[in-house]
Amino acid sequence: MLFLQKHHITDLYVQVDDLIKTAPKPKGGRPQLLSDSELTTILLWSSFTTRQKTLKDIHNWVEMYHDKDFPQFPGYKGFVAHCQRIIP
């Protein structure tokens, strides 16, 4: 049986980044702090390892345990807005 460890998040990111097509950057406005691949990786990793129930739980979890993996992590409002843009 395989067990996921903290460093496997990088491997997951590489796989997700290869699958997700990059959208053209919009003109004007603030740049996103996380790419779509990074956010998708966070959501998948959370579901694989801790099974968080709400976006608030996921946001707090990333701030506590993965602050070095995502140094440009947005605030809660920006995180939720980005989640709503990429999740259908």
| Section 55-60 average pLDDT | 93
In this predicted structure, the answer to whether residue 42 has a pLDDT above a threshold of 50 is yes
For residue 79, the model assigns a pLDDT of: 93
Report the alpha-carbon distance of residue 31 to residue 33 in Å, rounded.
6
pLDDT tens, residue by residue, 22-35:
766 667 777 778 88
Kindly tell me the number of DSSP H helices and DSSP E strands found in the chain.
4, 0
pTM over 0.85: no
For residue 1, the model assigns a pLDDT of: 40
Report the alpha-carbon distance of residue 26 to residue 50 in Å, rounded.
34
Q: Is residue 50 part of a domain?
A: yes
Q: Is residue 66 part of a domain?
A: yes
> Which domain does 65 fall in, by range?
32-88
For residue 78, the model assigns a pLDDT of: 92
- Number of domains the chain contains: 1
